[in-house]
Structure formats: C-alpha cells, structure tokens
Chain A
Amino acid sequence: GAVVSQHPSWVICKSGTSVKIECRSLDFQATTMFWYRQFPKQSLMLMATSNEGSKATYEQGVEKDKFLINHASLTLSTLTVTSAHPEDSSFYICSAEALAGGRDTQYFGPGTRLTVL
C-alpha cells in the first residue's frame, strides 16, 4: 500500500527557533499534500493544502507567514514552523493524495511531535 513518511518523528526546540518537518510519499506521486495539527486529546485540524509547484492554500486562522509550506516535488512537502513558541507544541500530521487512480483516499504520515520549550 501507499506509504507516507515524516521526518523527524519528534523534535524539541527552544522558543524562537524554526523547525522544518518533511513529508514524503515513498512509493507514489502526490500532487496534493495536506498538513494537519492535532492538540492533545483533540481531533485533527486541517492547516493547509499543499499543491506541487504552487502556493499552499491555508485554512482560516492559520498564519501563512508562520507556517511555511513548500511542495517542491511530487513526493516531498515541507512545513516550517517559524519562530516557534510553546503554543505551537502539537502533533503535526501530513497526508498525501495519490496522483493516479481515485482521489478518495488520503494516505497519512505517522506524525511529528513538536515540543517548544
């Protein structure tokens, strides 16, 4: 089946630093990738939709200058949390939609746990 990886799986950083999270589709091409955020004991909230070769589309309330998304290839999207603060601590999950076949299913990565001290 389709596999999506994320790197790193967890990261701890100091307040004010920037953190980059990678999302890769390992065995398929994905024109569209999605970034979600999940706070403890809550559901997943869509942050942005990332399309290869174009600017990401952000959901209402998500700061595009703080959460930089780059979708440079059909297998890689990156999310950079700039000037991270403790309130950005969360579980970040990406998903990828396959280029071929039906677009019903998003394949999810294992998530990245970000802790900002």
Chain B
Amino acid sequence: SQQGEEDPQALSIQEGENATMNCSYKTSINNLQWYRQNSGRGLVHLILIRSNEREKHSGRLRVTLDTSKKSSSLLITASRAADTASYFCATEASNTGKLIFGQGTTLQVKP
C-alpha cells in the first residue's frame, strides 16, 4: 500500500522563486529518494538520502530527512520554467527493500 504523503499536491510559483515540497512516510526506511516526472514521461532520479543522513545537496536541490518525524523535504532553489514537472518521493522500506511512492507534487514554474 502507498505510504508516502506529499504536500502540497500542487504548487505554482514564478521563475526565480524557491519551491519546497514535503514528504511524510510511515515505516522504517533504508533511504528516501526523490524523482521527477515530466508529463507522460518516465522517471528521472534526482537524489537519494540515506536514513543516517540529515541533509544532502545536488546543484539547486536540497533534501532534508528527519527520521524522528518520518518526513523529508525537497527544496529547489532559483526555479526555472524547465523545472515544471511532477515530483515524487519514494521510500525504500527496511523490511522489504521495495520502493513506495508518495502521491506526488505537481510543480508549475511560470516564466
């Protein structure tokens, strides 16, 4: 069953602004990953953060993980119109190794 909850479901911002998306989960995890999906296309892996890490950076992306609250956030700084896409968090469950996806956040960046 889906265990990831993401908010907001939809986010609309102006180019240059920062975008923050949140993800919550329910069970113990090995890691948490963020993916991007353009409309009707496959998934692009953005970043992986392990359960013993608290923060990770990759270019304009910053991911935090709080295992005590079972939550993560993805920050995209200085957004661009090309960042318009759906963003999904996915947790790798400790007991099964399976990836469980959140419901996703649809981001629209207006030029």
Cβ–Cβ < 8 Å partners of A93 in chain B: 42-43
Q: Which of A44, A103, A107, A109 is the one whose CB lies under 8 Å from B101? A: A44
A-B contact count (CB 8 A): 47
Cβ–Cβ < 8 Å partners of B103 in chain A: 42-43
A111–B97 contact, CB under 8 A?
no
Say if the beta carbon of A75 comes within 8 Å of chain B: no
Bound CA–CA A108/B90 (angstroms): 13
Residue of B nearest to A44 (CB): B101
Say if the beta carbon of A50 comes within 8 Å of chain B: no
0/1 string, A86-117, CB within 8 A of B gives 1: 00000101010000000111111111010000
Q: Which of A42, A46, A91, A111 is the one whose CB lies under 8 Å from B99? A: A46
Say if the beta carbon of B64 comes within 8 Å of chain A: no
Interface residues on A, range: 20 to 34
- SS of B interface (majority): strand
Q: Which of A60, A95, A103, A113 is the one whose CB lies under 8 Å from B97? A: A103
Say if the beta carbon of B28 comes within 8 Å of chain A: no
Chain A residues engaging chain B, CB cutoff 8 angstroms: 34, 36, 42-46, 49, 60, 91, 93, 95, 103-111, 113
15 A-B contacts, Cβ less than 8 Å apart?
A43-B2, A43-B4, A43-B88, A43-B103, A44-B43, A44-B88, A44-B101, A45-B101, A60-B1, A95-B99, A104-B50, A105-B45, A107-B45, A108-B42, A110-B41
Given A110-B41, A110-B42, 5 other A-B contacts at CB below 8 A? A43-B2, A44-B90, A45-B101, A95-B99, A104-B48
